[in-house]
Amino acid sequence: MYDYIIGKVVGYEGNSIILENNNIGYIINVANPFSFNEQEVAKVYLYHQIKEDEQAFFGFKTKEEKQLFLRLIGVKGVGPKLVMPMLATGSVEGIIDAIDRENILYLKKFPKIGDKVARQIILDLKGKLMSQNEVDNGTNNEELASVLEGLGYKNVDIKKVIPQINGELPIETQIKEALKLLLK
């Protein structure tokens, strides 16, 4: 699995950028290719999709954008081809806010998102998404939030606990402290 790649943007191809790293040109599907300047050295967070008949890289400017993408493609009936236009025309904060407020009209403004898909997104993700500002909240600990979520805790509970944890502690200690607070 890949987390990110750093390289020089050497061109564009449709909705993709071509990123050169160690003399290899990677074609990476992105929400808005022209948000990357040609010849700039860019850090692109990656999602590597492997299907039976094809492989593709999807790239993101921020970790928050990548995390939202991963959560959205986990919704039944939603794939990368639906999510990338959402990220191209909507902000991460706006999409999270629309889901939490059950704003179906906002979600339906995106290409190929109808009433049924918008409702499914809200049903699956309402209250389960955190903006990066909420995660950071003085601790800068995205990893802790991810671990707690992986253990099955709700984001509402995680939001309450993270500000109480010292982000300077080793991650193992942070997890133990968070679990103590969550089990109270």
- Contact indicator for 149, 115 with CB cutoff of 8 Å: no
Do both 120 and 137 map to the same domain? Answer: no
Cα–Cα distance for residue pair 161/179, rounded to 1 Å: 9
Do both 29 and 48 map to the same domain? Answer: yes
3-state SS, residue 28: strand
Q: What is the mean pLDDT of the chain?
A: 88
Do both 121 and 136 map to the same domain? Answer: no
Q: Does the pLDDT of residue 156 top 90, yes or no?
A: no
Residues with Cβ within 8 Å of residue 155, at least 6 apart in sequence: 127, 128, 129, 130, 145, 149
**Confidence label for 125 from pLDDT (cuts 50, 70 and 90):** very high
CA terminus-to-terminus distance, the chain: 36
Q: Does the pLDDT of residue 66 top 90, yes or no?
A: yes
Q: Does the pLDDT of residue 139 top 50, yes or no?
A: no
Tally helices (H) and strands (E) across the chain.
9, 5
Do both 119 and 70 map to the same domain? Answer: yes
**Tokens read off for 2:** 């890949």
Do both 70 and 99 map to the same domain? Answer: yes
CA dihedral sign of residues 110, 115, 120, 122: positive
| Residue 141, pLDDT score | 65
3-state SS, residue 97: helix
Residues with Cβ within 8 Å of residue 110, at least 6 apart in sequence: 82, 85, 86, 89, 90
| Residue 90, pLDDT score | 86
Do both 98 and 72 map to the same domain? Answer: yes
Do both 49 and 81 map to the same domain? Answer: no
Domain end position, chosen among 19, 42, 60:
60
Domain end position, chosen among 83, 108, 125:
125
Greatest distance between any 2 Cα atoms in the chain: 54
Do both 156 and 103 map to the same domain? Answer: no
Task: Check which CATH number belongs to the domain holding 49 and give it.
Answer: 2.40.50.140
Span of 13-22, 36-45, 46-55, 154-163 with lowest mean pLDDT: 154-163
Domain end position, chosen among 107, 125, 143:
125
Do both 48 and 69 map to the same domain? Answer: no
- Per the listing, tokens 């954008």 go with 65
In tens, the pLDDT along 36-56 reads: 999 999 999 999 999 999 999
Task: Check which CATH number belongs to the domain holding 120 and give it.
Answer: 1.10.150.20
| Residue 130, pLDDT score | 67
Query: Can you tell me the mean pLDDT for 162-182?
Result: 85
For residue 125, list its beta bridge partners.
none
Please give the tally of structural domains in the chain. 3
Do both 145 and 103 map to the same domain? Answer: no
Do both 116 and 138 map to the same domain? Answer: no
Q: Does the pLDDT of residue 137 top 70, yes or no?
A: no
Nearest alpha carbon to residue 130 among 163, 177, 105, 106? 163
Residues with Cβ within 8 Å of residue 50, at least 6 apart in sequence: none
| Residue 158, pLDDT score | 83
In tens, the pLDDT along 72-111 reads: 999 999 999 999 999 998 889 999 999 999 999 999 999 9
3-state SS, residue 117: helix
Do both 47 and 24 map to the same domain? Answer: yes
Domain containing residue 120: 63-125
